[in-house]
Amino acid sequence: MKRHFPPAAALSLALSLALAPPVSLRAHLEAVPGEEGMVVSVHALASEAGVEILKKGGNAVDAAVATGLALAAVFPSAGNLAGGGFMVVHLAEENRQTVIDYREEAPSAATRDMYLDEDGEVLTDLGSARIGWRASGVPGTVAGFALAFERYGSGRVTWAELVEPARRLAEGHVLTPGAVSSLRRAAPRLERFEESKRIYLNGGAGWKAGGTWRQPELAATLARLAEEGPREFYEGRTAELIAAAMEENGGTIGREDLRAYRAIEREPLRQTYRGHLLVCPPPPCSGGATLFQMLGMLEPHDVGGLGHNSAAKYHLFHEVMRRAFCDRIEYLGDPAFVENPLGRMLDRDYLARRMADYDPARATPSESVEPGLGPRESLETTHYSIVDAEGSAVANTYTIRNSYGSAVTIPGAGLLMNNVMDDLAAKVGVPNQSGLMQGPANEIAPGKRPLSSMTPTIVLKDDALFLVTGSPGGPTIINTVLQVVTNVVDFGMSAMDAVRAPRVTHHWLPDTLVYERHGLSSDTVALLEAMGHSPKESGSLQGEAETILVDPTSGVRWGAADPRLPDTRAVGY
């Protein structure tokens, strides 16, 4: 039926339509509702892969495996088979949580000084922990996904069904402008290795948006995983290809390293914040402990009353961040190698003492902030969040560390290898490529899992699932999650408002308050400078917090895909 509007209304409607963003852009900038299930990831095709599994009867864990495998095909800068990470699982029926630790491990050939030159200085090019064949840890992704599936999958879908969407995408999918732009930015690193240049740069000719990208070697690897099971990666033809390429090129990962790798199920860390229960991974993931320290230091303050973008709020947040990161660097590491004093670090009296010298009007110089218990991470990761029809959830963050990892690809397997060894301390007291200081608890040793900033987080309210979030970004991850959580809890923001709000970060040393491009007003910057801070505008945006908020009243899952990257999508049903 034809609709008629009075002249004023017609003019108003025309103006609103003219000023509104295009439909596709609006969908990207608004939260997406889902009554049954929701998958939010960095790429629409990966989110759709997860929803495909949910619709087949799979649960959140099943969908998480399918989504993670699909990202290896469509988002190679961080999606992976040859990396590692952490998965937080919320089991609605049992009302309990668990963590799957599938962080990479240092190979058996690793030594403490393996990345130092003859003068004791840290190597930064080929042969370093940053690029090339010696930069990789033993991959954990496939083992981690397998452990999660075996213990907590629904039993209604098979392993092969979870692999199939990724195999199909590796056979061919249409490249987006965002994917092509990412490949172009990585070209200076990727073109140094012939197999990477051939696959990711089209032999140097480059790929075009709208074209079909085919990765037959990766598709064959995924087909083997589907047919022979996940241990094929560690003991079958894929393991042979990895070990042979490593040996031929002076790498450090051998057949026995692959055969010996196992993912680990761990008890999560839990802490309350203003009546909400937060669940995060324990070490070697540092994100949970550091996030909980910061929230514990914030809780005595009226954060909401400070105003969301006020200088007073950012001053408080940076004082909290610098103290927590100081402790992180000094005390946390792989629990198989060092003792993590979590009880003392998270004790409320200790956190109150940490803030005893906090001055609401003046910045505390980082040089005067020392570890409180006494002496003794380009940032390419990706996160996705999933909620199923039963209310179970997965927060999964995984990585190959830098964008496109070590930049080397295993011939015949199509596997882009990680450069996670840079997350161990090449030299104590020297920042890694992320600019993050490294302490003795994180020194290189065979079999050691590097300390990680990943912070996949599940939040419960009144024993019901409330928020699922996380982010990439190296050491900025923890502070991104902190701000998403406080945006929701302290400022009552919606999922999308909480995700797209401007972000800031501070890591103790260097003593710099970094804010997102256009994130702070000039007035706020001036006020912070007057307090003694050193604000610095970042040349890029911070993080990519794929988030789901469950409405406590209706149960609707609101998926917020972070608009900081062009291809992120929330897909619900």
* Number of neighbouring beta carbons within 10 Å of residue 531: 20
Q: At what angle do helices 159-171 and 141-152 cross, to 10 degrees?
A: 140
**Is 521 part of any domain?**
yes
Measured distance CA(370)–CA(372) in Å, rounded: 6
The alpha carbons of the chain give a radius of gyration, in whole angstroms, of 23
Q: Are residues 227 and 279 in the same domain?
A: no
pLDDT number for residue 372: 58
Contact 397, 454 (CB under 8 A): yes
Q: Which of 387, 419, 442 is the last residue of a domain?
A: 442
Q: Are residues 253 and 349 in the same domain?
A: no
Measured at the CA of 371, the angle between CA 370 and CA 376, to 5 degrees, comes to: 115
Q: Are residues 363 and 486 in the same domain?
A: yes
The helix (H) or strand (E) run that includes residue 348 is helix 348-354
Q: Are residues 525 and 420 in the same domain?
A: no
**Is 24 part of any domain?**
no
Measured distance CA(153)–CA(281) in Å, rounded: 19
Q: Where are the beta strands (DSSP E) in 31-72?
A: 32-34, 38-41
Q: 359 CB contacts (<8 Å, ≥6 apart)?
A: none
For tokens 């590491």, name the residue: 333
**Is 80 part of any domain?**
yes
Query: Regarding predicted confidence, which is higher, 46 or 371?
Result: 46
Domain count across the chain? 2
Tell me the residue type at 142: V
Phi, psi of 457, deg, nearest 5: -135, 135
Residue 370 has pLDDT above 70, yes or no: no
When pLDDT is averaged across residues 487-512 and rounded to a whole number, the result is 92
pTM of the model: 0.92
**Is 181 part of any domain?**
yes
pLDDT number for residue 329: 83
Local structure of residue 364 (DSSP, 8 states)? P
Q: Where are the beta strands (DSSP E) in 115-227?
A: 173-174, 212-213
Residue 20 has pLDDT above 80, yes or no: no
Among residues 473, 469, 513, which one has the least CA distance to residue 487? 469
pLDDT number for residue 326: 87
- Look at the chain and count its residues: 573
Q: Are residues 319 and 467 in the same domain?
A: yes
Residue 380 has pLDDT above 90, yes or no: no
Residue 515 has pLDDT above 70, yes or no: yes
Mean confidence (pLDDT) of the chain: 91
When pLDDT is averaged across residues 275-289 and rounded to a whole number, the result is 96
Contact 543, 503 (CB under 8 A): yes
Among residues 161, 133, 117, 534, which one has the least CA distance to residue 314? 534
Q: Minimum mean pLDDT among 15-29, 159-173, 221-235, 450-464: which range?
A: 15-29
Phi, psi of 386, deg, nearest 5: -140, 140
When pLDDT is averaged across residues 356-376 and rounded to a whole number, the result is 73
**Is 43 part of any domain?**
no
Q: Are residues 351 and 435 in the same domain?
A: no
Measured distance CA(410)–CA(62) in Å, rounded: 27
Q: Are residues 134 and 250 in the same domain?
A: yes
Residue 392 C-alpha from the chain's centroid: 20
Domain that holds residue 149: 67-84+100-266+400-442
Tokens of 550: 């469950």
Q: Which of 141, 290, 364, 381 is catalytic?
A: 381
Q: Are residues 253 and 272 in the same domain?
A: no
Tokens of 428: 């104590």
Q: Minimum mean pLDDT among 308-317, 343-352, 512-521: which range?
A: 512-521
Tell me the residue type at 509: L
Q: Minimum mean pLDDT among 18-22, 219-223, 322-326: which range?
A: 18-22
Local structure of residue 173 (DSSP, 8 states)? E
- Model confidence over 396-451: pLDDT tens digits? 999 998 899 999 999 999 999 999 998 888 887 676 665 555 667 788 999 999 98
Q: 400 CB contacts (<8 Å, ≥6 apart)?
A: 78, 80, 82, 83, 380, 406, 416, 417, 418, 419, 420
Determine whether 469 is an active site residue: no
pLDDT number for residue 374: 47
Q: Are residues 141 and 245 in the same domain?
A: yes
**Is 179 part of any domain?**
yes
Measured at the CA of 283, the angle between CA 279 and CA 284, to 5 degrees, comes to: 130
Q: Is the dihedral of CA 487, 493, 494, 498 positive or negative?
A: negative
- Model confidence over 327-343: pLDDT tens digits? 998 889 999 998 999 99
Identify any residues that bridge with 458 across adjacent strands, giving them in sequence order: 279, 468
Q: Which of 391, 408, 442 is the last residue of a domain?
A: 442
Among residues 144, 148, 126, which one has the least CA distance to residue 59? 148
Q: Where are the beta strands (DSSP E) in 480-551?
A: 504-505, 513-515, 535-537, 547-550
* Number of neighbouring beta carbons within 10 Å of residue 45: 23
Residue 275 has pLDDT above 80, yes or no: yes
For tokens 């218990």, name the residue: 373
**Is 28 part of any domain?**
no
Q: Are residues 300 and 283 in the same domain?
A: yes
Measured at the CA of 496, the angle between CA 494 and CA 499, to 5 degrees, comes to: 105
Tokens of 264: 């680990």
CATH number at residue 521: 3.60.20.40
Q: Minimum mean pLDDT among 148-152, 168-172, 242-246, 329-333: which range?
A: 329-333
pLDDT bin (cut points 50, 70, 90) of residue 79 is very high
Identify any residues that bridge with 272 across adjacent strands, giving them in sequence order: 277
When pLDDT is averaged across residues 259-275 and rounded to a whole number, the result is 98
pLDDT number for residue 539: 81
**Is 56 part of any domain?**
no
Contact 149, 162 (CB under 8 A): yes
Q: Are residues 368 and 238 in the same domain?
A: no
Prior bond to 510 cis, omega within 30? yes
Q: Where are the alpha helices (DSSP H) in 261-335?
A: 287-298, 311-331
pLDDT number for residue 104: 97
Q: Are residues 256 and 276 in the same domain?
A: no
